[in-house]
Amino acid sequence: MSLSTRDSFIQHIKALQEKICVDLEEVDGKSKFITDTWERRGGGGGTSRVISHGNIFEKAGVNISVVHGELPPLAAQQLKVAGTSFFAAGLSLVIHPFSPKIPTVHANWRYFEVYDENGIASDAWFGGGTDLTPYYLVEEDAVHFHATQKKCCDTFDSTLYPQFKRQCDNYFNNHHREGERRGVGGIFFDHCRGNEKYTLDFWKNFTENNGAIFLDGYLPLVNRHKSEPFTQHNKYWQEIRRGRYVEFNLLHDRGTLFGIKTQGRTESILMSLPPTVRFDYDFKPDPGSEEEKLLEVLNHPRNWVHSNVSIL
Amino acid sequence: MSLSTRDSFIQHIKALQEKICVDLEEVDGKSKFITDTWERRGGGGGTSRVISHGNIFEKAGVNISVVHGELPPLAAQQLKVAGTSFFAAGLSLVIHPFSPKIPTVHANWRYFEVYDENGIASDAWFGGGTDLTPYYLVEEDAVHFHATQKKCCDTFDSTLYPQFKRQCDNYFNNHHREGERRGVGGIFFDHCRGNEKYTLDFWKNFTENNGAIFLDGYLPLVNRHKSEPFTQHNKYWQEIRRGRYVEFNLLHDRGTLFGIKTQGRTESILMSLPPTVRFDYDFKPDPGSEEEKLLEVLNHPRNWVHSNVSIL
């Protein structure tokens, strides 16, 4: 008997969580992940795995949650779906290295089902993506990260990468700062349903594959920069930029706000927040500095890898 | 010819901003406020005054804004008013001392007018208040701060303090942390309109008086604790608690979200965020510690001053 989409995706995220944690511990060489399992009052629960004060990773969380229950009207409105109850399974991770020379990375892969008042599934979709947040712009890092994503997308359909890359730039946008992006992007996909063109199973394979190749895009950057020296000035700038990360997550991130509204586990949702942060009034980098070069690319997202497909 | 409510309140907040900045500079003895004036694209503008890296004040802002323009439907919905344009004038301040032994304080006093599509004023009200956020509980500090507020309220009507005190405890609530309050409270009042019981002028006098006595409640606490020694452990705890301040302001504070939604000036709105902050995963103070004693009172707000009036 084959597993349901739900059960099979749950198996996938559990195995992926384990694999990512093992690989990150090996790279860090000092700290180990702690494990917190928790139950959700409204139904379901999760396992949060967190590493702190490592050689390389100042704070990182790799969390899975498998939750179900009533869908509050506000949450239904936010998801733009009609339904009274839901099931959601996902893996969310955020990695904050100590060194400002190593980028922060975020990824999430999730599956949703929504049910009507009779408990009949009325909707189901996959979503996810990954995005890179450097503190200093190293073009080959951005190129490598995006190339890995493009390669993954192209295996499925060459129209996907340009579309999901653009959605990522549109999503991780601090609108209250005139369109300053959180980082150099990656891919973002959501509401990927079975339809005439693609089956739900197509999106399941895509989502699972995107999870499986995630570390190929990130670990080479960690290894490239982990021994690089940095100054107090570099660290200060990292903490200023981490402030923008906090602003995005608490003001705009749909996942965070959905979790808070559906009485998710606060510590697991807010695990994404960086360990040390600065909020200076009206901080501006020096003209012509490396810090200003980063801002330039955050304000004007670039195409990092050549795509054969033109989209409008 | 007597001034309109609008113009007279604008005069008041300008003079109050100047007075508060002069008094804070005198106490600090080192840093001076910088002045930033700005214009709002949609109409109006403001003056932000910010002090940083002082002897005592690590970051403090005392801002006024006088803005007007279209009222976006989302903002109207949040204010629970019907109208298509608005006028708002207010003074907002947040003071973050460097020492974890000195409490943070916030205050705001504001006046709103809302107009229908013909430009006719359809609504007008005052709001405001002040609240104290200590990092270590010193009961006489909380008592002094609340006694100053009660005295101010009682001059107008002895039913006001208990009502506004309770509203403050209800408002500065990190709901996503099971009702942990931001601090030990103070008073909070909103939508204070002219009606059969009180005139709009009554509320104007009350709001202005509450601004005028603000420093009487706070400066004695600064002077009491400014020479007290503190440890790295105390500073760490302050930065953890400052994380909760950030969470409240970006997730729940109506003023912040209103400002962001109405395209207010981001740097002035987010001036309230503390200068250095920590977000540790699932931080818990030691049982029986001073840190835990603070949490106890944040989770169970107390009545700090005896009131003769019972309200239900």
Q: Cβ of B77 under 8 Å from any chain A Cβ?
A: no
Pair A261, A72: CB distance under 8 Å:
yes
Segment B81-105 mean pLDDT: 96
Give A86-105 pLDDT, tens digit per residue: 999 999 999 999 999 999 99
Provide the annotated active-site residues of A: 106
Active site residue: B12, B53, B68, B106, which one?
A: B106
pLDDT band at B3 (very low <50, low <70, confident <90, very high): confident
Residue B174 CA to its chain's centroid (Å):
16
Q: Residue A81 has what pLDDT?
A: 86
Residue A70 CA to its chain's centroid (Å):
25
Q: Which of residues 30-69 of B touch A (CB under 8 A)?
A: 36, 48, 50, 52, 59, 61
Give B112-146 pLDDT, tens digit per residue: 999 999 999 999 999 999 999 999 999 999 999 99
Pairing of strands A276-278, B276-278: antiparallel
Q: Residue A122 has what pLDDT?
A: 92
Give B241-250 pLDDT, tens digit per residue: 999 999 999 9
Whole-number average pLDDT of chain A: 95
pLDDT band at A241 (very low <50, low <70, confident <90, very high): very high
pLDDT greater than 90 at residue B277: yes
Least confident of A3-17, A248-262, B239-253: A248-262
Strand positions, DSSP E, A98-246: 104-115, 121-133, 173-174, 180-181, 185-192
CB contact (8 A) between residue A281 and residue B177: no
The DSSP result for chain B, as a single string, is -PPPHHHHHHHHHHHHHHHHHHHHHHHHSS---EEEEEE-TTSEEEEEEEEES-SSEEEEEEEEEEEEEE--HHHHHHHT---SEEEEEEEEEEEEESSTTSPEEEEEEEEEEEE-TTS-EEEEEEEEEEEEE-SS--HHHHHHHHHHHHHHHHHH-TTHHHHHHHHHHHHSEEGGGTTEESSSEEEEEEEE---SSS-HHHHHHHHHHHHHTHHHHHHHHHHHHTT----HHHHHHHHHHHHHHHHHHHHT-HHHHHHHHTT--HHHHGGGS-SEEE--TT--PPTTSHHHHHHHHHHS----S--S----
Give A144-153 pLDDT, tens digit per residue: 999 999 999 9
Query: Could you tell me which chain B residue has the CA closest to the CA of A34?
Result: B281
CB contact (8 A) between residue B275 and residue A278: yes
pLDDT greater than 70 at residue B177: yes
pLDDT band at A310 (very low <50, low <70, confident <90, very high): very low
Query: Could you tell me which chain A residue has the CA closest to the CA of B261?
Result: A176
Q: Cβ of B283 under 8 Å from any chain A Cβ?
A: no
CB contact (8 A) between residue A279 and residue B277: yes
> Can you read off the two tokens belonging to residue A90?
């996902």
- Beta-carbon contacts of B303 under 8 Å, excluding residues fewer than 6 positions away, are B165
CB contact (8 A) between residue B59 and residue A282: no
Interface residue of B282, B283, B284 to substitute, partner A, most A CBs within 10 Å: B282
Query: Is B312 or A272 the better-scoring residue by pLDDT?
Result: A272
Nearest to A277 among B266, B279, B281 (CB): B279
Q: Cβ of A83 under 8 Å from any chain B Cβ?
A: no
> Can you read off the two tokens belonging to residue A93?
């991770």
Could you tell me what percent of chain B has a pLDDT over 90?
89
pLDDT greater than 90 at residue A23: yes
pLDDT greater than 50 at residue A275: yes
| Structural domains of chain A sorted by starting position, each given as residue range(s) with its CATH number in brackets | 5-299 (3.40.1500.10)
Q: Which of residues 164-193 of B touch A (CB under 8 A)?
A: 176-177
Least confident of A73-82, B38-47, B214-223: A73-82
pLDDT band at A263 (very low <50, low <70, confident <90, very high): confident
SS3 of A205-254: the string is HHHHHHHHCHHHHHHHHHHHHCCCCCCHHHHHHHHHHHHHHHHHHHHCCH
pLDDT band at A51 (very low <50, low <70, confident <90, very high): very high
Q: Cβ of B253 under 8 Å from any chain A Cβ?
A: no
Question: Which residues from chain B sit within 8 angstroms of residue A177, using beta carbons?
Answer: 266
